[in-house]
Structure 1
């Protein structure tokens, strides 16, 4: 349980900051995403970093239970898989990312999902 709380305390604030930035500065976020997708080295290095973080989470927190802790496990697996995809298939990442940028509602929905997950992690990490 301590690992779950630690990871919730670590991930929650970062997700909250990212979600709030996406909500309050959508055009800036879109511009940054376009620049990111135009840089294969950034896609690659972000894949390495995200995969490392995801693997660390999965190795130390592979908890499959029917409570909030499964969110941390799922985020770890999603980071591991997402990082691998960035490393192995950067052109697919660019194509999928461009499709999302072209749909403003996708970014809005994504930011709201991140906001909800961040609030849940912050609650269980700091207040529960």
Structure 2
């Protein structure tokens, strides 16, 4: 199976599940985000996991073609940069995260964006044959 399809099939449903979880459990996600931004070890581990996942994607799929596959490459780079940022500059990353996740509206926007991205990748990975 082509790497792009494999990664779309892996990331798409994962993003959809995360988005649904966020939308169905807004109060819990507010707590999770608040605790994650104030617990050093959780913040560090999320950075480490994001860095590892991002580097895995970038090393397997660093394709800058002008088609849907570039979305996977961009996600890999964003995960790599975000993970590195959380490990190297945690105070700045916490300040940015606190600003971005300032309430329910921002969580809903993040969930809808994540869900749309997940639906797109799932469609490309499972439905469309190109």
Answer whether TM exceeds 0.5 for this pair. yes
Match of 1:121 in 2: 121
TM norm structure 2: 0.93
Give the superposition deviation at 1:66: 1.6
Aligned-partner Cα distance in 2 for 1:66–1:27: 39
Give the superposition deviation at 1:82: 0.3
TM norm structure 1: 0.94
- Structure 2: runs of 5 or more not aligned: none
Mapping of 1:23-102 within 5 angstroms?
A: 23-102=23-102
Query: 2:6 aligns to what SS in structure 1?
Result: helix
Give the superposition deviation at 1:104: 2.7
Give the superposition deviation at 1:76: 0.2
Aligned-partner Cα distance in 1 for 2:12–2:123: 9
- List per-residue Cα deviations over 1:29-53 (Å, max 9, x = no partner): 0101111111111111111111011
Aligned-partner Cα distance in 2 for 1:119–1:78: 19
> How many aligned positions are there?
128
Aligned-partner Cα distance in 1 for 2:59–2:89: 24
Do the aligned partners of 2:30 and 2:103 also contact (CA within 8 Å) in 1?
Answer: no
Aligned-partner Cα distance in 2 for 1:106–1:45: 23
Match of 2:19 in 1: 19
Find runs of 4+ consecutive structure 1 residues off by over 3 angstroms. none
